[in-house]
Amino acid sequence: MKKNIPQMIHKSAFSLAEALITLLIVCIITLASIPVITKKHRNKFNGNEKLSTGKYFCYLDASGKHNFVSDIDGVETNGTSENDYCEFTPPVNAKDFIIMVSGGGAGGGLGYNYLDRQMFQSSDTYTIPEDGTYDLLVVGGGGAGKTGDNDGEYSGGSGGWELKTAELRQGDVLSIQVGEGGKLGSCTEFEKPVWDYHTEMVVSDLLHGNFKEIPIYEMSYKKEKKCFGSTNGAASSITTDSMQVLASGGYANNTGELLCFGWDTFDACGGEPNGRDGGFLDGTVAPSVPKKYLPDNMKPIPGSGAATIGLFNDDAVAKILNGNGADGIAIVASNNNYCGEGGAAGDISTVGVYTLKNEQIRIKIGKGGKGATDKEHPATNGEMSSFGNLIKAMGGKAGSSTRNCVYSDDKKTVYGYNGEASSFVKKPDSVGACGGYLKCKTADMNGQSMIYTSAADGMNALSFGSGGGGGGLSLNSANILGKGGDGASGFVYIEW
C-alpha cells in the first residue's frame, strides 16, 4: 500500500535583522517626540500662561501687629493686617515655593546679687546645700549691766563680731556655737543669827552681901546681803574642717561706770578683747555689725550690752534687756553674683514645596520673649511661628541667671551674656543683642551691623528672631541689678 507523505508549506516573514532595524526606527521617533509632548502638556496645564515669580514677607511691627510686604510679578504691595495673622494666597500659576519660618527670639536673663541668709540664734549644725562663696558672721553675747543697789543702771559691754568669706563645697558641715548674753547679778538678803553677850551682877550670898558677875547670852537676827556679780557674754563661733570664725562675748559692767563705749577700758565696759570693738554699747547701735546681714529693725541687736534707761538709748530696748546682755548670733550667707544669659534665637524651618493650592493660608508670627525684670519676673521664651498647618518653628529658649560669669579686670563689673543672632540675618562677628556692660556688633532688621555698648541692662534684639541680651551687674552700685533685653519677633518668608 502506498503511503502519502505530507508536503512542507512555505510562508514568507521578516528576518531578525529586519525586526531590529524596525525597532530602532521606532525608538528614534519616540525620543524625538518627547519635547513636543512635554511642551503641549505644560501649555495645557498652565493655560498657555507664563509661570509667576515673587516674594512675600510677614512680620510684626513695634506695636505687635502683623505686617506684610510682597512682590508678585514685579508688583509691590505692603500693608497691616487687621487680624492677628497675615493672609497669603498662592498665585494660580506659581510653582517651586521656598518657605522659611522663624520663631520669636527669647528674652535675656537677669543679673543680680543674691544674699541667702541662714540665721542661728542657738547652737546648731548646718550642711552647705551647694558649692559657692559664703559669708560667715558671728556675734558674741553682750555683757550684763552693773549689779548692786542700782541693778541694771549701768550699761554692759557689747559682744564682738567677726566676718569671714569662704569657698565652701556642697555637703560641708558647719558646727555653730551661739553665745548667750551675760546675766545681771543679783543680791539676796537674809537674816543671820547673832549672839549678844553681856554680864550682869547677881546676889550670890544674900546673908553676907556677896555679888557675882554672870554671863548673859541673847540671840538676835541681823539682816545681810549677798551679791552675785553680773556675768560676761559668751563667745560665738562657726567651725569648719579647715577654719574657725570666733567672736568673744562682751564684758559685764561690775565697776559702776555710767556709760560704756567700745574704746573705754575693757575692765570697765566690756567691748571685744579679740580686736573688734563693739561701738556704742547702748543696746541700739551696738555692736557695729554689718547691718545688711540682719533683719530690718531688729531689736535688740544681737550682742548688745545691757542698756541704760534714759541715757541716749532706746528705753524699750533697755527694758527688754532688763540689765542683761543680748544673746549673740551666727549667720551663714551665700553672697553670690549672677549674670544673665542671652536669649536663644528662634528656630528656623525651611521647606520646599512644588505647588500650593490657590487658597488663603494664615500666617502667624511668634512674638519675641520678654527680658527678665526681677527675680519674680524671669525672662520668657519666644513664641512659635506658623505657616498654616504646613510649617511651624518654635521660639527660642529664655535666658536664665547663672553664676558662671565673666568679670572685669578690676572685679567691679559682671558682664551679661550676648543674645543669640538669628541665622537669617547673622553677620560675621555679630550677635543678637549685647549683654550687660558689653560692647558688641549687632545686626539690625535690615541686616546692617553696628557697634553698640550696653549699660547694666541687656539690649533688646534688633534683628528678626534674635535673642535679647542678658543683664550685667555693677558691684559698685547700690542697685546692683541688670535687666534682660527683649527678644525680637519671628517672621515668615516665601519665594517662588
- What pLDDT score was predicted for residue 309? 53
181-233 pLDDT, tens digit per residue, is: 888 877 777 787 887 777 777 777 666 667 777 787 778 887 776 666 788 88
Whose CA is closest to 177, among 276, 275, 252, 247? Answer: 247
**In angstroms, what CA-CA distances link 64 with 79, 82, 108, 112, 370?**
14, 11, 19, 30, 13
Taking all residues of the chain, what is their mean pLDDT, rounded to a whole number? 79
Coil, helix or strand for 28?
helix
DSSP string, 404-438: --EE-TTS-EEEPPPBPPPTTT--TTEESBPPTT-
Residues in Cβ contact with 172 at an 8 Å cutoff, skipping those fewer than 6 apart:
127, 128, 240, 241
Residue linked to cell 549673740 = 328
d(CA 427, CA 115): 40
pLDDT confidence of 31, banded at 50, 70, 90?
A: low
pLDDT confidence of 474, banded at 50, 70, 90?
A: confident
pLDDT confidence of 279, banded at 50, 70, 90?
A: very low
Cis peptide before 428 (omega within 30 of 0): no
143 in Cβ contact with 232 (< 8 Å): yes
DSSP string, 432-472: SBPPTT-EEEEE-TTS-EEEEE--SSPPPP-STTPPPPPP-
Give the residue-averaged pLDDT of 378-392: 96
Looking at the predicted structure, is the pLDDT value of residue 380 above 80? yes
Residue linked to cell 538678803 = 189
- What pLDDT score was predicted for residue 199? 78
d(CA 177, CA 245): 10
304-354 pLDDT, tens digit per residue, is: 877 655 544 455 666 667 778 889 999 999 877 899 999 999 999 999 999
Query: Which stretch of 27-36, 172-181, 479-488 has the lowest confidence by average pLDDT?
Result: 27-36
Higher pLDDT, 377 or 5: 377
Note the pTM of the prediction, 2 decimals.
Answer: 0.60
410-469 pLDDT, tens digit per residue, is: 888 899 999 999 987 766 667 888 988 888 877 666 666 777 777 889 999 988 999 999
Query: Which stretch of 82-96, 322-336, 471-485 has the lowest confidence by average pLDDT?
Result: 471-485
